[in-house]
Amino acid sequence: MQFHVTVLGTNSAIPAFGRYLSAQILTVQNNLYLIDCGEGTQFRIRDFRIKSSKINQIFISHLHGDHYLGLVGLLGSFNLQGRKKTLTIFSPPGLQEIVDAHLKYGETKLGYELKFIVVDATQYQKIFEDKLVEVFSIPLKHRIATSGYLFKEKPHPRNIDSAAIKKFNLTVEQIKQVKAGNDLLIADTSIPNNKLTYRKKRRSFAYCSDTVYLESILPFIQNVDILYHEATYTDNLREAAERYMHSTALQAATIAKKSNAGKLLLGHFSSRYEKTNVLEDEARSVFQNSFAAIEGESYTYNKD
Amino acid sequence: MQFHVTVLGTNSAIPAFGRYLSAQILTVQNNLYLIDCGEGTQFRIRDFRIKSSKINQIFISHLHGDHYLGLVGLLGSFNLQGRKKTLTIFSPPGLQEIVDAHLKYGETKLGYELKFIVVDATQYQKIFEDKLVEVFSIPLKHRIATSGYLFKEKPHPRNIDSAAIKKFNLTVEQIKQVKAGNDLLIADTSIPNNKLTYRKKRRSFAYCSDTVYLESILPFIQNVDILYHEATYTDNLREAAERYMHSTALQAATIAKKSNAGKLLLGHFSSRYEKTNVLEDEARSVFQNSFAAIEGESYTYNKD
């Protein structure tokens, strides 16, 4: 079952060196969740042949242009492509007013319903769930109201353990019983269902951008499989990071280490870095499993 | 002295086949005028190494997304690049409300002044002039209020005619006199200044997008040097063009012919055309000097 993050844009503020602005797609089985939507996101969706009709929710971290200015264009393109399904957009306050102004003067009536959910960027709370995932807001600290997002798979159904089938030499009928959730009576001994089955781990992804170094998020993202954390600067520019309320690669890696993350993705790179390996190397000095995100790449993580 | 049009985007509605959305730069000497600003315009400005600091006026034809959704990103990038010079934006009503909503929720204070001039899209009138050009609104007919723009060079200063210098064997002193605008007295005959000097032709460019086929614009664009006219469809789709209030390549060429244009640029291509030569060929059957615009190319025209 798929659970991976596809990175569409990695630059901060202004596009540079062929790098676009913040946008990522989390794929969970057959569902796509779009997180941030910088200018040009619809170009990247096309470049990377992403089936955008499978996007039903969009999560915007904050209303700085490099994180959402591709949204209105994408909404218009969905409309031209004949979309009928409801689209739900999560964001700190203000986005509906902005989108409504665009639609008003364009005299555009969308052929699908648009729902806006205002996210309280000061609270960690569940803001959404469907059959596959639960999504939680993560209070970040930036120049304006900013929310990170934690995606957590719903508990998987129990799978029958192939070792148990072998060990107890189960019949087809017994396997059916176990799959139905029943215990088994074998030679007068009751074997509880949970000895015969297992659950796959619930995988998780946290998106943390933009933010200062912020230890208060650690409880929310503890043991996350994939952590995306902004790393606008290298640590020699920590003062600039503090001034503009961003993080350094070293700080991102420290958050990854302290949260016991599986993998760290870095992004939101300053245009001063033509190559991003300097940011990756810095992060790896603290947290080995760090990657400077590459646009078009998909990232997954399987814990032992 | 430069007078050329650089095309940044040629597709309509949705980007396709590597084609971006409507945006053009008119270069007149050292000034750049941006006309329309579809999503990704700032990427194109970077791709084609255009000195965007020389843009002081932006002209938006209408508030359909494919013609202006790159504007807010561009304004933000100007700000990050430290712009201080006033920027004036011409557009049918509503754009200021939209831009203000973005700036409000981004809590963005621009470091330069932004002036909005509302263009009455029902009138042909002078809306702007500087040392180099006069700009006129052209009332177009589309689904929402839409204005074309006519750019016309200001009268050039008179140049001394080198043939006259030869013919009358003028001295350095006499040349000075002529340059100062005086007539000359040669062998008791007064030679009027305008026999000794000439003016360069005032060059002009008209941007007409989006619009139905509209003969009422002909008086405004008569004898224009370069006419950009939208050509969303080929003429076998004339009904679709009428329904969506667009033009066909044949119609664009008919306008070029009837206005006695020097050169016709076609653009705003439907995504149904992977190659645009079919549109170019169709236009050339009516008006030979027609070109399907190519992004990154600059177009000029010198009449005999």
Please give the single-letter amino acid code of residue B103: L
CATH of the domain at A276: 3.60.15.10
CA distance B304 to B288: 16
The pLDDT tens digits for A91-126 are 999 999 999 999 999 999 999 999 999 999 999 999
CA distance A169 to A188: 15
Exposed e or buried b per residue across A110-127, where buried means at least 16 C-beta atoms within 10 angstroms of its C-beta = eeeebebeebebeebeeb
Tokens of A252: 């991102």
Q: Is B16 part of any domain?
A: yes
* pLDDT at site B98: 98
Asked if the C-beta of A157 comes within 8 angstroms of chain B's C-beta atoms, the answer is no
The pLDDT tens digits for B71-120 are 999 999 999 999 999 999 999 999 999 999 999 999 999 999 999 999 99
> Taking the mean position of all CA atoms in its chain, how far away is CA B117?
17
Same domain, A167 and A145: no
| End-of-domain residue from the set B141, B173, B197 | B197
Cβ contact, residue pair B39, A143, below 8 Å? no
Q: Is B304 part of any domain?
A: no
Considering the entire predicted model, what is its pTM?
0.93
* pLDDT at site B303: 67
Same domain, B124 and B188: no
Same domain, A262 and A116: yes
CA angle, residues B38, B40, B46, in degrees to nearest 5: 125
CB–CB contacts below 8 A, A to B: 103
Confidence of residue B243 (pLDDT cuts 50, 70, 90): very high
Asked if the C-beta of A272 comes within 8 angstroms of chain B's C-beta atoms, the answer is no
Q: Is A193 part of any domain?
A: yes
Confidence of residue B187 (pLDDT cuts 50, 70, 90): confident
SS3 B207: strand
* pLDDT at site A186: 87
Q: Which of A138-152, B152-166, B239-253, B285-299 has the lowest mean pLDDT?
A: B152-166
CA distance B258 to B255: 5
- Pair type for strands A31-37 and A55-59: parallel
Residue showing tokens 């013609």: B67
Length of chain B (residues): 304
Q: Is B30 part of any domain?
A: yes
Query: Across all residues in chain B, what is the average pLDDT?
Result: 96
Residues of chain A with pLDDT under 50: none
CA distance A120 to B84: 35
Q: Is B106 part of any domain?
A: yes
SS3 A297: coil
CA distance A241 to A264: 19
Same domain, A123 and A271: yes
CA distance B291 to B68: 24
ipTM for this prediction:
0.92
Interface of B with A in 114-143 (CB under 8 A): 143
* pLDDT at site B41: 98
Same domain, A182 and A75: no
CA angle, residues B195, B198, B203, in degrees to nearest 5: 155
Same domain, A85 and A222: yes
Cβ contact, residue pair A39, B94, below 8 Å? no
DSSP string, B208-240: E-S----GGGHHHHTT-SEEEEE--B-GGGHHH
Q: Is B60 part of any domain?
A: yes
Q: Is B39 part of any domain?
A: yes
Enumerate the β-bridge partners of residue B19: B16
Same domain, B237 and B92: yes
Same domain, B128 and B191: no
Q: Is A68 part of any domain?
A: yes
Same domain, A84 and A185: no
| End-of-domain residue from the set B146, B175, B197 | B197
Same domain, A164 and A265: no
Same domain, B9 and B52: yes
Q: How many domains does chain B have?
A: 2
Peptide bond into B66 cis (omega under 30): no
Note down the domain range covering A182. 159-197
Same domain, B291 and B225: yes
What is the arithmetic mean of pLDDT over B149-169? Answer: 92
Closest Cα in chain A to B100:
A98
